[in-house]
Amino acid sequence: MSGSHLHSAALMGTVVNIQVVRTADQALDRLAPDAIERAMNWFRTVESSCNRFDPSSEVRQLSRQIGVAVPVSAILFEAVQFALAVAEESDGAFDPTVGVAMEEHGFDREYQSGASTASGVRERGTVKYRDVGLDVDARTITLQKPLLLDLSAVAKGLAIDLAARELASYGHFAVDAGGDLYAAGLNPHARPWSVGIRHPRETDQCIEIVQLSNAAMCTSGDYERRRPADDGGHHILDARTRESPAAVASATVIARSAMVADALATAAFVLGPADGVQLLERSGVMGVMFTPGLERFSTTGMAGAAIFPNA
């Protein structure tokens, strides 16, 4: 066994673990810690663009400019563009304009300090993803109404993808951000990465195990990020009702990209088992969902292994 370079850091509201399998190329191997640090920095970069809890973030600055085409970074543009695409695809069940609704449900605090970071955005009437305009050529975003974007379902996946790109030359590595992850190549035992799906009720156990190579796996669960109000709700809202959906306990998606897997896991979670699986099938990804009663729903392509060729 050849071992790995390992590094953990607390980033983007979770603990990020990066593991790079040691390579026989000693020059490359020696540079691995630096590459890992650069990979970690992508999480900081994405967070500075997309973190709705940080008043100085790009997404918060955007919410202060209503009706104006605002030039934004490539990262924010990519995150918003993809979130809107998934909103369209899920018929608005998933919708990144739920930022204010999330604040109303108590997700308005910087938990490290306990200080309120509420945006102060006052919505007028209902807001929907169609109130966000994009100009691809000018790379601008226009908020047609006062609203706050919540990019929590795409930002972490985007950061994982960027970190993975940073490490691509190593071929064999894993980027894990608190249970959303990308696994490249083979593990230190020269086998595909073995990734468990957390049991949504016995959360110290796995409900099933999948072999991954060059694939991302992301899970949305009702057991994560319980609401501060402690009223049985959780951190995922159905944008159409502004309530937490209750039909799904966890939704896991496997895709080539973590951003795709992350967003579609959330969208499938909101849509419920039947429509959720349909969405995943349509999108050409694999997925498995469990209801609170542990009934299992999956795409036809969902198998015990997702081994993709190197991108």
- What residues from 85 to 124 belong to the interface with other proteins (CB under 8 A)? 85, 88-89, 91, 107, 109, 111-114
Question: Does residue 231 belong to the site contacting other proteins (CB under 8 A)?
Answer: no
Stretch that binds other proteins, among 58-66, 140-148, 275-283, 289-297 (CB under 8 A): 275-283
Question: Does residue 8 belong to the site contacting other proteins (CB under 8 A)?
Answer: yes
Can you tell me which of 128, 178, 242, 246 binds other proteins, judged by CB under 8 A? 178
- Give the long-range contacts of residues 179-182, CB within 8 A, separation 24 or more: 179/14, 179/218, 179/219, 180/156, 180/216, 180/217, 180/218, 180/219, 180/258, 180/261, 180/262, 181/216, 181/217, 181/218, 181/258, 182/215, 182/216, 182/258
CB atoms < 10 A from the CB of 58, how many? Answer: 19
Question: Does residue 37 belong to the site contacting other proteins (CB under 8 A)?
Answer: yes
Between 10 and 64, whose beta carbon lies closer to other proteins? 10
Tallying the residues shown for the chain, one arrives at 311
CA distances from 136 to 74, 80, 91, 263, 301 (A): 10, 11, 22, 21, 33
**Structure-token pair, residue 111:** 């938990």
232-271 mask for other proteins (x: CB under 8 A)? Answer: ---x--------------x-x--xxx-xx-----------
Question: Does residue 22 belong to the site contacting other proteins (CB under 8 A)?
Answer: yes
Question: Does residue 294 belong to the site contacting other proteins (CB under 8 A)?
Answer: no
**Structure-token pair, residue 236:** 């995922």
Residue ranges of E strands in 22-98? 69-71
Question: Does residue 185 belong to the site contacting other proteins (CB under 8 A)?
Answer: yes
Beta bridge partners of 115: 110
Question: Does residue 77 belong to the site contacting other proteins (CB under 8 A)?
Answer: yes
CB of 103 to other proteins, least distance (A): 13
Stretch that binds other proteins, among 59-67, 119-127, 280-288, 289-297 (CB under 8 A): 280-288
121-140 binders of other proteins (CB under 8 A) = 130, 136-137, 139
CB of 17 to other proteins, least distance (A): 6
Question: Does residue 311 belong to the site contacting other proteins (CB under 8 A)?
Answer: yes
CB atoms < 10 A from the CB of 311, how many? Answer: 10
CA distances from 294 to 182, 237, 249 (A): 26, 21, 8
